[in-house]
Amino acid sequence: MGRFQKPAEGTWTEHYPELGTGPISFADSISPEFYQLEREAIFKRAWLYAGRMEQLPRNGTYFTKILPGLRTSIVVTRDLDGRVRAFHNVCRHRGNKLLWEGTPKGESCGKARQFVCKYHGWRYGLDGACTYVHQANEFFDLQQDALGLAPIHFDTWAGFIFVNLAEQPPQSLRDYLGPMVGALDGYPFDRMTERYSFRAENDSNWKVFIDAFQEYYHVPPLHTHQLGPTPEAQNPEYEFEAAHYQIDGPHRMVSTSGTYKQAWPAEHLYPAEALTRSGNTGPWDAPDFGADLPGVNPSGISRWGIDNFQVFPNLEILIYERNWFVTYRYWPTSHNTHVFEGDLHFVPATKASERLAREYAALTFKEYGLQDAGTLDGTQMGLEQQAFDEFPLNDQEVLVRHFHKTVGDWVEAYARQQGGESKR
């Protein structure tokens, strides 16, 4: 008997009948041809999270962002008049990458009055206009005012900056995000300006890692140590159940109930948890955001812990009851490799004890995240072995089911539109 009320149909999966309940194929995760289709059908058409508005704190600031696997680097600027813009990070003259630090694979950010190409010294304003051509009189019929940086489609929502690589995005960002994700508008994301950033190159298809972070069925067996040092806590057969699942278009979310470790007796805590008053669910002493937080805990569960919003295709926003949030991004770089980016966002610490509480939460993310990432190459190897054609998914894995169906639907729609046959 479950601990949480399921929908009238009896299960979360059957509440969304288009998903079916049968075993599913992961052929979409082992095919080089399917990877190429995904790039065109999904990553060159969907809205992609590129950064936060807090990365542009003043007029005349900018940041670059490489979109791994998409052969694209963008520069997002807040120009001297305060307008936010996004461009391809490429010089109009001979195509040299315009802004980088260290090597052309490095990102750049900061304050600037203009951008100067390192190659031939062409200059651009933060509004993208070309302001200087070295030895302009040597060129032929050069029209400098037509030589600006190439703009890229972008839009912002709740302080999140998204870009779209389509020639013409089929939907506005707000229409794309839909009512479930859109309801988070007004959540105080902008107060959490202190970031801990992580990056990993993993030997698996991008979807394999997303799958690991959109179900909690794996938590008791894989993260046996997470609940605490005692034998009662470390029970790999503990039956984890999420409180609420919800699907809206290509996006999906799951809410879990909280562990509220701040109320636990000391013998059930790791000493460093008690010392820092922090851990898996963040610093226990949370900033006060008031009671009415838009969009979070949409089903109103009483001991709410985490909301996990999976924004299609590759953004995950985790919102914690202790008032901090995390973003994950997964960028496919081949059919069996991807780049993972994780950012933990906190209200800035003002003293050492607060800094250490955030540090311990950031450590905890990495320690257990390594267990998740540690499964990836093994899963990829297992899938590529093709010992099985289909795999059973349970009701706690309903979001995995929805995700692969959505990916397949987008690829099929694209293939239909191209008039060709999908090679799925």
Partner 1 sequence: MTEALLPDEFADLEPWAPTWCLATEPERWELRLQSSMEDLQAFYDAVFPRAEAAIAWCDRYPLDDMPRDAERLLQLLHSLLMVSYAVEVWKQPEVINGGSARIDRIGEPRP
Quote the CA–CA distance of 137 and 388 in Å, as a whole number.
Answer: 67
Backbone angles phi, psi at 344, to 5 degrees: -100, 130
Nearer to partner 1, 257 or 276 (CB): 276
Nearer to partner 1, 54 or 127 (CB): 54
Cβ atoms within 10 A of the Cβ of 102, count?
Answer: 8
**Minimum separation from the CB atom of position 378 to partner 1 (A):** 7
**Neighbour-count burial for 13-31, b at 16+ CB within 10 Å, e otherwise:** bbbbeebeeeebebebbbb
**Minimum separation from the CB atom of position 47 to partner 1 (A):** 24
**Minimum separation from the CB atom of position 269 to partner 1 (A):** 10
Q: Sort 38 into a burial class: Cβ within 10 Å, 0-12 / 13-18 / 19+.
A: buried
**Minimum separation from the CB atom of position 230 to partner 1 (A):** 12
**Minimum separation from the CB atom of position 196 to partner 1 (A):** 5
**Minimum separation from the CB atom of position 228 to partner 1 (A):** 10
Quote the CA–CA distance of 266 and 228 in Å, as a whole number.
Answer: 10
Nearer to partner 1, 196 or 238 (CB): 196
Quote the CA–CA distance of 77 and 241 in Å, as a whole number.
Answer: 44
DSSP-assigned letter for residue 37 = H
> How far is residue 81 from each of residues 66, 111, 197, measured CA to CA in Å?
25, 14, 30
Q: SS3 of 187, please? A: coil
Quote the CA–CA distance of 82 and 70 in Å, as a whole number.
Answer: 29
Peptide bond into 298 cis (omega under 30): no
Nearer to partner 1, 332 or 369 (CB): 369
Cβ pair 54, 193 in contact under 8 A: yes
Nearer to partner 1, 27 or 363 (CB): 363
Nearer to partner 1, 59 or 193 (CB): 193
Which runs of E-coded beta strand occur in 203-336? 244-248, 251-257, 304-311, 315-320, 325-334
Nearer to partner 1, 17 or 271 (CB): 271
Nearer to partner 1, 132 or 196 (CB): 196
Q: In terms of residues, how long is the chain?
A: 424
**Minimum separation from the CB atom of position 21 to partner 1 (A):** 30
Question: Which chain residues interact with partner 1 by CB under 8 A?
Answer: 194-203, 222, 225, 229, 270-272, 275-276, 340, 342-343, 348-353, 355-356, 358-360, 362-363, 366-367, 369-371, 373-378
Q: SS3 of 39, please? A: helix
Q: Side chain identity at 57, as an amino acid letter?
A: P
Task: Name 95's Cβ contacts closer than 8 Å, sequence gap at least 6.
Answer: none
**Minimum separation from the CB atom of position 373 to partner 1 (A):** 3
**Minimum separation from the CB atom of position 327 to partner 1 (A):** 13
Nearer to partner 1, 271 or 290 (CB): 271
